[in-house]
Each structure stands twice: as structure tokens, then as C-alpha cells.
Amino acid sequence: MNFLRKTVDLIVGLLVRGGLCTFKLIAAVILAAVGVIGFILGEAAEIFRMLVRALKWLLRSFTESYRSRVQVSNELAKNARRAKKEGKKAHINAILRFVGSFLFGEGGVLYTAFNYLLPIVSAVFMISVIAYGSSLEYGLAVEYNGKELGVISDETELEAAARDVQQRISYNENDKALELSAKYSLRIMSDSDKLMTAAQLADEMLEASDEELTEAYGIYIDGEFIGAVKDKTPVQEALDKNLLDYKTDGIVKELTYADKIEYTKGIYLLDSLRDEQETIELLTSTTEKSKVYVVKAGDTVLDIIQKFGMKVDDFNKLNPKAEEGLKEGQMLSVTQTERYLPVQYTRELETLTFLDYETIEVETSALNVGIRALLVKGERGEKVSNLEVTYIDGIEQSRKVLSSVITKNPVVETIGVGTYSAMPDDPATVYCGQPLAGSGQMGWPVNGGWISDPFISDRNHKGLDIAAPEGTEIYAAEEGEVVSAGWNSGGYGNVVMIEHPDGYATVYAHMVMTYALEGQYVTKGQLIGFVGSTGNSTGPHCHFEVRYQGICLDPTAFMNTVDTIYKEDEE
């Protein structure tokens, strides 16, 4: 009883203590929250007081001058009233002092207006100056040999003109240097000023020199000056005819010179002037250059001859051993015709390319374990592409695919990896003294066992008897449709018959029980029944027959239990 009372007292004490602790905790949380709220409100009130003080200060600052002005005005008004008593002259002087102070005194109307308007007027003036300056057009006035040549837009025009002049004087036979230290300065352009181009500036710089000059057409190849001619027409016509006479294979889409040819009319040194015919001969000239070519995979002699536009006899003279055959990496001597002005053209070609096929491996019960066989032969696909090929002097430079169509999809090559594991008790089981090494088209139909009676034997046996303990699994030797499953009154007992797609049929007799159903399609290695001794049987075994068009064949010719080599259809 005492123990129970003490226990109750202890529990009550714990509950009371727990309640007090909880109450203290709640009270502490409430007090802390009140303290935080009080602190936030106190700070907010202090910030508000500071804002009020700031507003008062601003208001006082803005109204101080007004109060001062009112004070001065009141004082002046009092003085004017007192002066009225003193006499007319004193009164007029007091009024004048009042008006002067009101208009011109410190804090007066004009003084205040001036203080406020001056910054505004200054800002407007500065903006007007900037707007006027930005509307002006500026240029660089170029001075050369003490003479102003003209105005250009920027320094790059002067640099380009200097380069142009340098090229034009490169034909000076006296090899006399021409001073090109032109000066330039920034200035505002007038209505009469016109911006000059680099070519115009170059003309002006040459005219300002002491050289003998002439007006002509400068010929530039990819921006490089090669000389000047008086008449550009015969040069243009000769180059156009050179393109028309250029021989190419197939239909050419575009035929041009690879380099950019420009004719610029201007002032040139007399020494840089060329004869038109001499210029034509230079621009249409060709040279033969010797090169070394490294043979690539797939190259033929004919391909290389066509690539470099060589004659067969010339190629054979340079490479007498090439007739014996080419090897990848072999170095050959070739010659290539190079033109002063390379000819570029494009052609559209249709090419046929082959697409490689993939090879995959799949597990299949159609093959015994350890047997690999080619199930589906791989075939390359074909793709027809329409290409735009660019050539320079007959040598391919680049190609662009315009369109492509796969005309034949590649066929994936499938390698079968056998999973069919039914084997006799001894894989080296022999039949008539020979191992079972038939075609392997059909699998061993029993999960174990041995041959207890061969085909034909001494009693015209139509199949092969495979002895095994009762209840041993029997599998389909090949895929096909179950055309019969159940009891047979002709002595086969419980029997399953399967017709295969290739015209063969197999029979599995004397089962203790059939598992497959009539009409069912089974795969190779699928369970179809169990070994028994039903029907005309003297012991548990599977009577296995192979038939073709109703004729019984030797089952061992279709089974292989020892040959595990890789079987593949080789081309």
C-alpha cells in the first residue's frame, strides 16, 4: 500500500513539475516576443522623429530667406512711416531705399531670380553647345608635301592609300623611295568639302610627288598591284576567252578565276605601265611543278593521273614501278600544272556510297549450347548523294552534300548463340560406333538419357529409343506446330507430333503425360511432355521419329551432341 502511495506521489510530482516547466517556457517565449515587438516599435518611433526633424530643418532652410526678407521689408516700412513725419524729402528717400532693397538688395526679387535662373540658363547653353557640336560633320584634312590633298573619314583611308601608293611605285626602275609621311588634322567640314576614297587619295599623293605619272588602269590580283595598262579591254577579253577555252569533264556549274581580279582607273607611275599583250601573256601563263604524292587506301594509277591531269606516258616515266601495283603510303612523283590565275569551277555529281551493317548476337534455343551460327547474313546499305564539288585547276578542293537518299537500308547481321542445353547423359554418346555428329538441325529431345534402341535395328524400328527415368523432361527438337497431343491407340501411348516449317515432322511417343496442346506453336527446346512407358513399351523411354513427307528417316542424321565449333556461312 505504501509502495502504491509513493508511486502515485512520484507521478503527481512529475506532472506538477512538467506543468510548471511548460508554463515557464510559454511565459518566457511571450516575454521575449513582447520585448522584440517593443524594440521594433521603439526603433520605428525614433526613425519617425528623425524624419520629422529633417523635414522641419528643410522647411526652415527654405523659409529662412523669406522671413529675413519680410523682416527687412517691415523695418524699411517703419522707417518710411517715420520719415513721413520728418518731411517730404526724407519720406521720398525712405521710399527709394525701400524699393531698392526690395528689388536689388540681398534676398530681393532680382537677386533671388538671378540665383535661380543662372544655373538653368547655364544648363540650356551647355546643352545647346553639345547639340550644335554633335550636328557638325568632322573629317581628317590630309596634307602632303606642304599641300592639302583633301579630307578623309578616318585614318584607315590614309593607311590604305599609302599601301596603294607603295604598290604603284614598286615598278620604279630607279628604285627611288617615295616619301609618304603625310600629315592629317581634325577639322569641321564645310559645304564645299567632300570625303575622298583611298584610291582618290592615292592619286592625289602621287600627283603631289615629283615622279612621272600617267592615267591608266591598275590591275590588282587579290588586292595586290601587278601593273597598269592604258586599255583594260583587250586584257579582259583575253581572260574571258581563256575561261571559255578551259577544258573540263562533265557539266560545269560555275567557271571563274579563283583569284579576285580588279581594274582601278587612276594615276600611276609611268614605270609601272605594262604592254597589254605582255600583261595577257603573264596572266594566262602556266608552269609545271614537281610534287610528291603519298598513296592512300583505294587509290589507283588512273585516279592519280586524272587527279593531277598528267599523261599516262609521263606518269610511267616518273614512276616505272607503279605498274606492279600501288601500296598505301607509297610515295609517287607527279607533276602539276599551275596557272598564274588558277581556274575554279564547280560540278554537281551523283555518287553511290555503301553503308556498313551492324553485327549483333542473339541467344536462341534453335542452337545447342556452345554452337554459334549465322542466322541472318549482313548486307551493306546504299546511299545516293548529290554533291557540289569545287575544283581549282582540276584538283578537288571541297565538296558539299546537296541531298542524299538511302536507296537500300543495311541488313543487320545476326549471329545466333545457342542456349539449347538438352544433352544425353554422355555427350560422347555413340551410334553404330560413331559419335552423334549429324547436321545439328534438331536438338537432342530428352533431358539426359541414352540410346537404348537404334533406328531400324533388327525389327524395322522406325525411330530412335532414348531411355531415361520416368518423368524426365522431353523437349521439342525443333520449332513447329503441335498437330497431335494425347493418347494413341496404335501402340504409341501418350504421343506428341510436331510439324516443322521446313516440311519435316517429329514424333515423341510413350510419354507418361503430354504437356503440349494440340494446335500450339512451340519453339525448339520447349517442354512438351515427360518420359514414360505407355503403349507398346517395355520400360520408360522416349520413342523419337523424324519424318519427311511421311517417310521415316534416321534421327541421328539431324542431331549433333559433340560438335561445338563456330558454324558460319562463309563467302
Enter the DSSP assignment of 493: E
Q: What is the pLDDT of residue 277?
A: 93
Over the Cα atoms of the chain, what is R_g?
A: 56
Nearest to 158 by CA among 192, 184, 188, 190: 184
What is the mean predicted confidence (pLDDT) over 322-334? 84
| pLDDT reported for residue 7 | 64
Residue pair 410/359 in contact (Cβ under 8 Å)? The answer is no
Q: In residues, how long is the chain?
A: 571
Q: Tens digit of pLDDT for each residue in 411-449?
A: 999 998 888 888 888 767 777 667 788 888 888 999 999
Across the range 304-331, mean pLDDT stands at: 82
Cell (9 digits) for 174: 630607279
pTM over cut 0.75: no
Report pLDDT for 335. Answer: 84
From the list 230, 199, 212, the residue with the least C-alpha distance to 172 is 212
Cα first-last separation, the chain: 105
Sort strands 473-475 and 464-467 into parallel, antiparallel or unpaired.
unpaired
* pLDDT over 60 (residue 172): no
Which position has the higher pLDDT, 515 or 20?
515
- Read off the pLDDT band of 373 (50, 70, 90): confident
Report pLDDT for 70: 60
Predicted pLDDT at 192: 65
Cell of 352: 553511290
What is residue 570's predicted lDDT score, i.e. its pLDDT? Answer: 40
Comparison of pLDDT for 20 and 225, the residue scoring more: 225
Lowest mean pLDDT among 202-216, 219-233, 504-518, 538-552: 202-216
CA distances for 9 relative to 2, 5, 16, 371, 482, angstroms: 10, 6, 10, 87, 87
Q: Tell me the pLDDT band of 517, cut-offs 50, 70 and 90.
A: very high
Q: How many CB atoms lie within 10 A of CB 262?
A: 12
Distance of CA 32 to the CA centre of its chain: 62
On the question of pLDDT at 486 being above 90, the answer is yes
Over residues 193-224, the pLDDT tens digits come to: 677 777 777 777 776 666 777 888 989 999 88
The x, y and z cell numbers of residue 26, run together, are: 510559454
What percentage of residues in the chain have a pLDDT greater than 90? 27
Q: How confident is the model at residue 123 (pLDDT cuts 50, 70, 90)?
A: low
For residue 89, the model assigns a pLDDT of: 66
Mean pLDDT of the 355-377 span:
86
pLDDT at 138 > cutoff 70: no
Mean pLDDT value across residues 517-528? 94
Residue whose grid cell is 536438338: 443
Bridge-based pairing of strands 359-368 and 413-420 is parallel
Instruction: pLDDT band for 531, please (50, 70, 90 cuts).
Output: very high
DSSP code, position 320: G
Which band of pLDDT confidence, cut at 50, 70 and 90, is reported for residue 569? very low
Higher pLDDT, 339 or 486: 486
The predicted structure's pLDDT at residue 137: 66
Q: pLDDT at residue 503 above 90? A: yes
pLDDT of the residue at 257: 92
- Judge whether residue 383 has pLDDT over 80: yes
- Higher-confidence residue of 294 and 250: namely 294
What distance in Å separates the CA atoms of residue 397 and residue 346, rounded to the nearest whole number?
A: 10
3-state secondary structure (DSSP) of residue 323: helix
- Give the pLDDT confidence score for residue 4 in this predicted structure: 60
- Please give the pLDDT value at position 356: 93
Sheet containing 213-221: order of strands = 224-229, 213-221, 261-269
| pLDDT above 90 (res 501) | yes
Dist CA 244 CA 239 (whole Å): 9
pLDDT for position 65: 58
Mean pLDDT of the chain: 79
pLDDT, tens digit, 9 for 90 and up, residues 242-288: 988 888 777 888 889 999 999 988 888 787 888 999 999 999 988 88
Cα–Cα dist 528/497, whole Å? 10
What is each CA distance from 456 to 42, 436, 462, 544, 556, in whole angstroms?
117, 17, 6, 12, 12
Cβ–Cβ under 8 Å, residues 144 and 179: no
Q: Is the pLDDT of residue 231 over 90?
A: yes
